[in-house]
A and B are shown apart, each in its own frame.
Chain A
Amino acid sequence: MESKYILETEHVSKSFGELEVLKDINLQVEKGEVICIIGPSGAGKSTYLRSLNQLEKITSGKIFIKGNLFLHREKNRTVEKISAEKRRGLLLEMGMCFQRFNLFPHKTALENVMIAPITVKKEKKEAVRREALELLDRVGLADKVDQYPSRLSGGQQQRVAIARALAMKPEIMLFDEPTSALDPELVGDVLQVMKDLAQDGMTMLCVTHEMGFAREVADRVLFMADGIIAEEGTPDEIFLNPQNPRTQSFLKSILNP
């Protein structure tokens, strides 16, 4: 099934018990698009990203990847069963980077990057190793390949995490506040890697508080509040001329704290 969109969500809702965190979210993402998601704390930004790769089970809604149905749930039940093999294949189209990196501390930087292609895709070790070294070089860590994560700075760890996700050759990258656990002087390196990725045509969904990054790199900015997409538009539309009063007050608070 061919589709114009690489990722689509229809009526995605999610509740934690009584608490409705996502309310009927619809989004269509084109290949190569860079989308930044901004919004106040508790808006459901992380929950939305995590729902996309099934770290959270959505209550209801449909998710399509490259035009294929990936998940369809209603009333907290999966209604259309998708074969495990197909589901895993579609899941691998998405790579994710976490706020707290979540590198595997018992593996070196290189091993972190190599482990998934070897265990999940059963690829040959030598080839994986070559690609992993290339990826680490691309994120500027060619000299740190044999270090354990505990010996790396936060910025370096996040770049290893990006390389680890890229090693699975995903078509879409999900970033959940990749720089907000970092010291300010380390943020730049990580953002540079993300900019390079965007330039290379990667489809990206970034939850971020880096407004500069969003303005420069994003094709589209979503403002989320209370579980809905309250406003969306180009960076210029959102940052220079926000329509929704919530967007206005959020931007005011974040730009002139």
Chain B
Amino acid sequence: MEVLKRIIDIRHWQHRTKIVVGVIFCVLAAAGILAILNPDRQALMKELSPEMQQLIAKDEGRSRKRVTVTYNNLAVISYCSCSSSGAEEMSERLVGFAGAVYHADSGVAKLVGQMANYTYRMLGCGENILHGAKLTIFLTVLTVIFGVILGMFLALGKMSKRRIINRLSSAYIFFFRGTPLLIQLFVVYFTIPGVFGFAWRNLFDTSSTEAVYQGAFVASLIAFSLNSAAYCAEIIRAALQSIDKGQSEAAKALGMSYAQTMGKIIIPQSISRMIPPICNEFIMVLKDVSLVFAISLMDITTVSKNIMTSEGSYLVFIPALVIYLIITAFFTCIYNALEKKFSVYE
């Protein structure tokens, strides 16, 4: 009972590195074994009905395929679906798991197969980096990096005694925290190119179909970074101001300039204090990034929404939530390690 309680109390985990490492290790080991046992594409195709196999064989020579075959390999589980159109309409689905192949046309196996397929698509497997979870993570990480850098300048600006710099920084922060992120995204994506007469996709090779996505990616990165900077600025300012005044006085008395004092004394000390709130900001950005569905970037949210509309599968959102949770948990672990690393001297 006690053990169960401890495992359920997730917050407890953070203080129990051993347990976390143990659990992660077990999960990885299990995944490794399952991945080794996992049947490959050929093993799955062998289990198709003879009719379907014939159809596929006939298809081989044709330039226009009658049968669509999708094969999704998620390492621990694989999924294959074949469907033919036209006169001989047929469809068959298979799931490969732990060395065995299951027919997945009904019941639990069907559900498992669907989930495997949705997860595969939401992770953006087999696509470039601007798809699925890869896009979400990539965009989030870049946003927070740019947000922290710009936020650092804004924080210093807001602490500045120069009135104009101080006012400008405050106005920036007020504006970006006081308006909805979605509209900021629309402004960057639609209004700015509209006013200045350019298109985001023209920044890239427009002969490729990816140019639209690349352009939208740049626009959303700009919008999110500008927005995140406003929040990071407040976090950084609070951290910088939490450092004892005696520190900057000691530095001044030793003849250090403002830049030297900030760079060598104040900022290094405040980093360990910034990490928890920046981690929080990171998690907020991770979720905010789902707003890119409004400009049709294919992140986890957009893919799940598309699956919902095209296949009427209302269950697709459950694996979507799980994917988000796993990403959050992963980055929380990284931040905890960072925080420990940066506060060694305390």
Residues on A facing B (Cβ under 8 Å): 53-55, 88, 91-92, 94-96, 98, 100, 102-107, 115-116, 119-120, 148, 150, 161, 164-165, 168
Q: Which residues of chain A are near B260, meaning CB under 8 Å?
A: 119-120
Chain B contacts with A in 24-80, Cβ cutoff 8 A: none
> Closest 7 interchain pairs by CB?
A102-B250, A102-B246, A116-B254, A96-B253, A120-B255, A148-B345, A92-B255
CB within 8 Å for A104 and B250 given contacts A115-B264, A119-B260: yes
Q: Which residues of chain B are near A91, meaning CB under 8 Å?
A: 255
CB within 8 Å for A100 and B246 given contacts A88-B255, A116-B254, A150-B345: yes
- Contact across chains for A164 and B254 when beta carbons are under 8 A apart: yes
Q: Is B256 an interface residue (CB 8 A)?
A: yes
Q: Is B17 an interface residue (CB 8 A)?
A: no
Q: Which residues of chain A are near B345, meaning CB under 8 Å?
A: 105-107, 148, 150
CB within 8 Å for A168 and B250 given contacts A119-B264, A150-B346: no
Instruction: Kindly identify which residue among B244, B254, B264, B346 contacts A168, using a CB–CB cutoff of 8 Å.
Output: B254
In Å, the complex CA distance between A53 and B249 comes to 10
Q: Is B252 an interface residue (CB 8 A)?
A: yes
Q: Digitize B242-262: 1 where CB-to-A-CB distance is under 8 Å, 0 elsewhere.
A: 001011011111111000100
Q: Which residues of chain B are near A92, meaning CB under 8 Å?
A: 255
Q: Is B115 an interface residue (CB 8 A)?
A: no
CB within 8 Å for A104 and B256 given contacts A148-B345, A150-B345: no
Residues on B facing A (Cβ under 8 Å): 244, 246-247, 249-256, 260, 264-265, 268-269, 345-346
Give the nearest-CB partner of B246 in chain A.
Answer: A102
In Å, the complex CA distance between A30 and B265 comes to 34
In Å, the complex CA distance between A6 and B250 comes to 22
Instruction: Kindly identify which residue among A55, A105, A164 contacts B346, using a CB–CB cutoff of 8 Å.
Output: A105
- Contact across chains for B244 and A102 when beta carbons are under 8 A apart: yes
Q: Which residues of chain A are near B256, meaning CB under 8 Å?
A: 116, 119-120
Give the nearest-CB partner of B268 in chain A.
Answer: A106
CB within 8 Å for A104 and B265 given contacts A119-B260, A148-B345: yes
Give the nearest-CB partner of B249 in chain A.
Answer: A55
- Contact across chains for A95 and B253 when beta carbons are under 8 A apart: yes
Q: Which residues of chain B are near A116, meaning CB under 8 Å?
A: 254-256
Q: Which residues of chain B are near A54, meaning CB under 8 Å?
A: 252
In Å, the complex CA distance between A94 and B249 comes to 13
In Å, the complex CA distance between A106 and B249 comes to 16
In Å, the complex CA distance between A148 and B249 comes to 20
Give the nearest-CB partner of A164 in chain B.
Answer: B254
Q: Which residues of chain A are near B249, meaning CB under 8 Å?
A: 55, 98, 102
Q: Which residues of chain B are near A88, meaning CB under 8 Å?
A: 255
- Contact across chains for B247 and A104 when beta carbons are under 8 A apart: yes
Give the nearest-CB partner of B259 in chain A.
Answer: A119
Give the nearest-CB partner of A117 in chain B.
Answer: B254
Instruction: Kindly identify which residue among A53, A105, A115 contacts B269, using a CB–CB cutoff of 8 Å.
Output: A105
Q: Which residues of chain A are near B346, meaning CB under 8 Å?
A: 105, 150
Give the nearest-CB partner of A95 in chain B.
Answer: B253
Q: Which residues of chain B are near A102, meaning CB under 8 Å?
A: 244, 246-247, 249-250
In Å, the complex CA distance between A168 and B250 comes to 13
In Å, the complex CA distance between A104 and B269 comes to 9
Q: Which residues of chain B are near A103, meaning CB under 8 Å?
A: 250
Other A-B contacts than A92-B255, A106-B268, 16 sampled, CB-CB below 8 A, are: A53-B252, A54-B252, A55-B252, A94-B253, A103-B250, A104-B247, A104-B269, A115-B254, A115-B264, A116-B254, A116-B256, A119-B264, A120-B260, A150-B346, A165-B253, A168-B255
Give the nearest-CB partner of A149 in chain B.
Answer: B345
Instruction: Kindly provide the distance from the CB of B268 to the nearest chain A CB, expressed in whole angstroms.
Output: 5
In Å, the complex CA distance between A55 and B265 comes to 17
In Å, the complex CA distance between A224 and B254 comes to 27
Determine which residue in A55, A102, A120, A164 has the highest number of CB atoms from chain B within 10 A of its CB, and name it.
A102
